[in-house]
Amino acid sequence: MLNINVLNINPEIVCALIEKAKIFHSKEEVTFGEEMPDSEYEYDWAQVLADHQDDLTYLEVRSTINDLDPAQKIDLLALMYLGRGDFEANDWSNAHKEAKARLAPNLTDYLFSKPLIASYWEKSLELLGYSCEE
């Protein structure tokens, strides 16, 4: 288990984003169509969220993420990678490097196009020794 001090982002911010992600994704299931592409990068994920650009929860999350500094945004993406099993907890530095290399300018759209983003973040925080439960 890693020390949570490896994070540039306050875990409480991630916990707040987890709650917002749960609210957002419970409103309406995000669908990708009948044909599933070979990899996640083939999704037109920006189009997936096109109908949700005026959603108040989404707008609040976008504002929060846009206000983060680049290192914190990289952490959010690396946490997603860790939570979905792309990297092990002891390989945080490589997850972080991958996130830095792939950081999208429209990070909120990318992250929120993942219906399981809240679960990914929860799992990654748990792997790092942090819990959102009070």
Q: What is the pLDDT of residues 78-113, one digit of tens each?
A: 999 999 999 998 999 999 999 999 998 889 989 988
Tell me, yes or no, whether 43 lies in a domain.
no
* pLDDT over 80 (residue 49): no
Burial of 81 (0-12, 13-18, 19+ CB in 10 A): buried
Residue 91: which residues within 8 A CB-CB, separation 6 or more? none
Task: Compute the distance between CA of residue 35 and CA of residue 18 in angstroms, rounded to an integer.
Answer: 28
2: confidence class by pLDDT, cuts 50, 70, 90: very low
Tell me, yes or no, whether 36 lies in a domain.
no
Domains: count for the chain: 1
**Backbone torsions φ then ψ of 63, nearest 5 degrees:** -65, -45
**Backbone torsions φ then ψ of 12, nearest 5 degrees:** -65, -35
Tell me, yes or no, whether 37 lies in a domain.
no
Task: Compute the distance between CA of residue 133 and CA of residue 107 in angstroms, rounded to an integer.
Answer: 26
Is the CA virtual torsion 108, 45, 84, 31 positive or negative?
Answer: positive
Tell me, yes or no, whether 86 lies in a domain.
yes
Tell me, yes or no, whether 44 lies in a domain.
no
For 84, the domain range is: 4-28+49-127
* pLDDT over 90 (residue 27): no
Tell me, yes or no, whether 67 lies in a domain.
yes
